Amino acid sequence: MFLMFVFLSFCFTSLAGVFGDEVKSVSVMEGDSLTLNTDTKLQRDDVIDWTYQKTLLTKINKAANKTKIHNDVLDGRFIDRLQMNNQTGDLTITNITTEHNGVYEMTISSTQKICSHRFNVTVYAHLPVPNITRDSSQCSNCSLLCSVLNVRDVSLSWYKGNSLLSSISVSDLNIRLSLSLEVEYQDTNTYRCVLNNTITNQTQHINIKNLCQCSGLTFVHIVVICCVAGGCLIVASVLIFCIYRKHRNTQQHGKCY
């Protein structure tokens, strides 16, 4: 994907002028190429600087016909990732990663003016597909747990059909994020668990029939076991009683029915 963001110019004709406070927010997916575009017509004597968190990345000096890319700065995180259009001054960051989050500023200066454009870039990592597991601690009800590992700036939600049942949102890095749901064994509705951030989402559907089979003792199991045990007890009692009677009847020449 190739994204371009245009920000209208804020220029000040005097060097003493205060810079615009305007910051353009840009959201982008990890791995994309991002072009920061200011749509400014550059003049013959302009000097264009791009800085990232106050560190100079590129410089174009129109009058001297010189360009320079400092991509070895900041631990080399920009190496082989910066492209500059020296006609327009646009900066392109290819294969962007979350390490490139932050504020980028373009400054265009000449003897007559100084302009500044700021972009607040947020890079979103690809989201994992959430996992759904059965909360095996209880068998009486079918309770399911949807979980994801190592995510930030996301919402995790349960949907029944198209309606939202429950949701949690987190902004900090979460080692393990989970949300539970209780369903009936016979429920035939479709449920799904969705993980999303502002620009993308991942969905996991559930199969109640497969997930809600209880591996432990269910009520039915217990009833069957009790019946079998009870039956055995009765049979045993009858046998003991008969043996006892037979023993007595042998002495009394009687019969056991």
**Phi, psi dihedrals of residue 210, rounded to the nearest 5°:** -75, -40
121, two tokens = 């870039």
Pairing mode, strands 2-6 and 33-37:
parallel
- Interface pattern 82-101 for ligand NAG (x via CB under 6 A): --x-x--------x-x----
Binds ligand NAG by CB under 6 A, chosen from 197, 206, 208, 212: 197
Q: Sheet harboring 154-160: ordered strands across?
A: 163-170, 154-160, 191-196, 201-205
Based on the shown chain and the rule CB under 6 A, indicate whether residue 23 belongs to the binding site for ligand NAG: yes
Tokens of 165: 């049942």
Give the pair of three-digit tokens for residue 26.
Answer: 């840009």
- Going through the chain in order, the beta strands assigned E by DSSP cover 2-6, 11-12, 24-29, 33-37, 47-52, 55-61, 66-69, 82-84, 91-93, 102-109, 114-124, 131-134, 142-151, 154-160, 163-170, 174-183, 191-196, 201-205
CB of 91 to ligand NAG, least distance (A): 11
Of 222-241, binders to ligand NAG (CB under 6 A) are none
Q: With respect to ligand NAG, which residue has the nearer C-beta, 42 or 115? A: 42
* 127 is an interface residue for ligand NAG by CB under 6 A: no
Nearer to ligand NAG, 99 or 229 (CB): 99
Binds ligand NAG (CB under 6 A): choice among 32, 39, 153, 187: 153
Per CB under 6 A, does 174 bind ligand NAG?
A: no
| Closest C-alpha among 91, 105, 87 to residue 44 | 87
Judged by CB under 6 A, the residue of 43, 53, 98, 120 near ligand NAG is 120
Q: Does 131 interact with ligand NAG (rule: CB under 6 A)?
A: yes
| Residues forming the site for ligand NAG (CB under 6 A) | 23, 65, 67, 84, 86, 95, 97, 103, 120, 122, 131, 140-141, 147-149, 153-155, 169, 182, 194, 196-198, 201
